Every structure is written in C-alpha cells, then in structure tokens.
Amino acid sequence: MNKTHDTPKPARFSKEDLLKEVRNLVLLDARSRSWVYDPGAAYRLLGWKPTHGFGGALLDIELYDFDEAAEGEGQSADLGHLPLMQVFEQLYDYGVLGLRRQDMEPLEPATMPAFVACWMNDVCSSTLVSEAHNAEQPSFRLPRITIDLALARAVLDGVGPEPRFISRDGDPLDSDHLTYAEVALLAGMDERSVRNAASKPDSGLTTVASDDGRKSFIKADVARAWLKGRRGF
C-alpha cells in the first residue's frame, strides 16, 4: 500500500490539463529508464525512433514538458496507446464528472486504477528522478487530485475499496467513511470550510469519532445528503 502525506487542495480542472501533467510524469519515467537500462529504453517505451541520436530533447534533464520534448524530437505527443492514459481518462470522468464508464475497472487492489495510482506515486517519490533533476520536478497535483476524487466518490457511491490502495495518515479504515479532506474535494471547497460546517449543529454534516477518539470522519450517507446541496458537487 502506498503512503503519501500530501493533501491536495480542492480544484476543478479540464481533462486536458490532467493529461498534460500525466504526460510529464511519463517523460520523467521514460528518462529514468534511459539511465538504468540504456538511452534507447526511453524511446522504446514511447514508440519513438531517435532522430538526434541519443542527445535529443527526451533525455535533456533541463526539460520537464513532454509536449516540448516531443516537438524537439519531431515526434507525436499523443500517448493514447498507453493504458495509463486511458485509466486517467476514466478516473477523471468518474472522479471529476461523476460519470462511471463501463470500461473502468473497479477501484480495488490489483486492478488497473490501483496499478496506475502506485505508478504515479512511485515516479513522484523516486529518489532517482529527484536526484537527476535536482529535486525540481513538478508536483503533479492534478493526477493526485483525480485519483483522490475517484476514491472518495467510490466511497460515496458505496463501492469504495477496502483497504484503500493509497492511504494517508489518519484515513478511515472503514470503506463507508470519508475524511474532511475527501468531502472538501467532492464539494470543490476548502477543507477548513467543511470542518466549520461540521462544527455547526444545524448543518446536517454530522461526524463520527474513531475508536481512539483522536479523529473524526463523515459517513458516506451523511456526506451524500450534505453534498447534494453544494453547488461545487
């Protein structure tokens, strides 16, 4: 199970904005393969033929934008043939738009969404990538938010995975409970606002305490009823 401690801020964004960041993740992943295996490995992963030997834009560590690298190499920036791009499109449709596509696998361990989430986490936390790029690689915020939104919506819909394949400190162990951060993401608002709403007796956003009393969570049915009145949901 992957562990990450970043809490994305709520946002709404376009699918193209998301896929651009995913392509940039692929760029770093492909480039790292060239260091571990051989320079041609990065090109083979993308289905590209080197047009400048192995000194082209793809392997230039000063370049973080996949589309610019493709242009510099004279190659297509379309990565639609990669399964991970298709999975992120499915997760966007479900997490952001609330549209569950028939071709999307369940959000459970050992399925494509889980594999893609783990891949993203591995690239983002890669020591190899960080060292080679002087720890300056982008945060890739939108892929994180997309996965978090899809997982939160699955809990809301009663099809949440147990255990969750990406977890954070303080996440609920039960598949029918949501964190304040998850409700905030679904509502398209700041987490502090959700906490403020939960503190008001007449808001309808009641919470339950964890077994040790240190954390509070929101049951899925309560969150669902409350979110129906939110414009950002």
Please indicate whether residue 178 or residue 131 has the higher confidence score (pLDDT): 178
DSSP the chain: -EE----PPP----HHHHHHHHHHHHHHHHHHHHHHT-HHHHHHHHT---SBTB-SGGG-TT---HHHHHHHHT-----TTSHHHHHHHHHHHHHTT----TTPPPSSTTSHHHHHHHHHHHHHT-HHHHHHTTT-----HHHHHHHHHHHHHHHHTT---SS-SEE-TT--SSTTEE-HHHHHHHHTS-HHHHHHHHTSTTSS---EE-TTSS-EEEEHHHHHHHHTT-TT-
Task: Output the pLDDT for position 2.
Answer: 42
- pLDDT (average), residues 218-233: 87
Q: Does the pLDDT at position 13 exceed 70?
A: yes
Task: Output the pLDDT for position 138.
Answer: 64
Task: Output the pLDDT for position 173.
Answer: 55
